[in-house]
C-alpha cells in the first residue's frame, strides 16, 4: 500500500494538508478542534498532559503539543487552522506563529510582510485601481 505523490509535495517549506496528513494526525486535530469551546480550553490549561492522553495523542504529538512546538505539530500533521485554535487564545498571533516557523523574531517577520507594500501604490495606479 502506498500514498499517491503530489506536485505540491515538492514546494519547499510547505505542508499541504491532505488525506495522508489528516489520517495520521486525526487525534491531534480532534484535540485542537475541541478548543472551539472555552470549557475545553480551560480543561487543557488545567492539565495539558491529561488532556492529550484523553484524546489519544501519541508520544511525538504529545511532546510537540506540551512544548508549544508549532513547527513540530505542523510536521506531525496539525492543520494550520486548527493549530490557531490552540495558539490565538493563548496570545500567539499568526505573525508569532509565522516567525516561529521560520526561526526568526516576530518583528523580523512583520518587517518582511511590510516590505510587500514597497512600490505597491505606483503599481496599482498604473493599472487603474482605486486609491482613495
Partner 1 sequence: MARIVGGVTTSHIPAIGNAMSRHLEGTPYWKRFFDGYEPVKQWLAKVDPDVAVVIYNDHGLNFFLNQVPTFALGCADRYENADEGWGLQTLASFDGDAQFSWHVAESMIDQDFDLATCQEMLVDHGFIVPMALMWRHLPEWPVKAIPFAVNTVQHPLTSARRCYAAGKALRKAIESYPEDLKVIIFGTGGMSHQLQGERAGLINVDYDLQCMESVINDPDWLASQSNSEIIEKAGTEGIEIIMWLVMRGALHANVDVVHKHYHAPISNTGAGVLVLENSHD
126 vs 129: CA distance, rounded Å: 8
**Eight-state DSSP code of residue 114:** H
Per CB under 8 A, the segment of 24-32, 46-54, 61-69 that binds partner 1 is: 24-32
Determine the distance from the C-alpha atom of residue 36 to the mean position of all C-alpha atoms in its chain, rounded to a whole number. 15
* Residue in 3, 66, 81, 107 binding partner 1, rule: CB under 8 A: 81
Site string for partner 1, 34-73 (x = CB under 8 A): -xxxx--x-----------------------------x--
Per CB under 8 A, the segment of 16-24, 42-50, 54-62 that binds partner 1 is: 16-24
If one asks whether residue 16 binds partner 1 (CB under 8 A), the answer comes out as yes
Q: Which three cell numbers stand for residue 112?
A: 518582511
If one asks whether residue 124 binds partner 1 (CB under 8 A), the answer comes out as yes
If one asks whether residue 105 binds partner 1 (CB under 8 A), the answer comes out as no
Residue among 94, 118, 61 at smallest CA distance from 102: 94
In 3-state terms, what secondary structure has residue 33?
helix
If one asks whether residue 6 binds partner 1 (CB under 8 A), the answer comes out as yes
82 vs 11: CA distance, rounded Å: 22
Instruction: Note the helical H segments in 25-68.
Output: 26-33, 38-46, 48-54, 59-66
The contact set with partner 1 (CB under 8 A) reads: 6-8, 11-19, 22, 26, 29-30, 33, 35-38, 41, 71, 74, 79-86, 88-89, 94-95, 97-98, 101-102, 109, 112-114, 116-117, 120, 123-124, 127-130, 132
Amino acid at each position: 500500500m502506498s500514498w499517491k505523490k503530489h506536485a505540491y509535495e515538492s514546494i519547499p517549506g510547505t505542508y499541504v494538508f491532505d488525506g495522508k496528513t489528516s489520517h495520521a494526525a486525526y487525534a491531534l486535530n480532534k484535540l485542537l478542534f475541541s478548543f472551539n469551546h472555552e470549557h475545553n480550553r480551560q480543561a487543557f490549561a488545567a492539565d495539558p498532559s491529561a488532556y492529550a492522553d484523553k484524546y489519544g495523542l501519541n508520544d511525538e504529538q504529545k511532546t510537540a503539543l506540551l512544548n508549544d512546538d508549532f513547527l513540530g505539530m505542523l510536521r506531525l500533521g496539525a492543520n494550520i487552522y486548527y493549530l490557531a485554535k490552540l495558539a490565538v487564545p493563548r496570545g500567539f498571533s499568526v505573525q508569532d506563529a509565522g516567525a516561529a516557523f521560520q526561526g526568526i523574531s516576530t518583528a523580523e517577520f512583520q518587517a518582511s510582510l511590510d516590505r510587500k507594500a514597497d512600490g505597491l501604490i505606483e503599481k496599482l495606479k498604473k493599472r487603474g485601481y482605486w486609491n482613495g
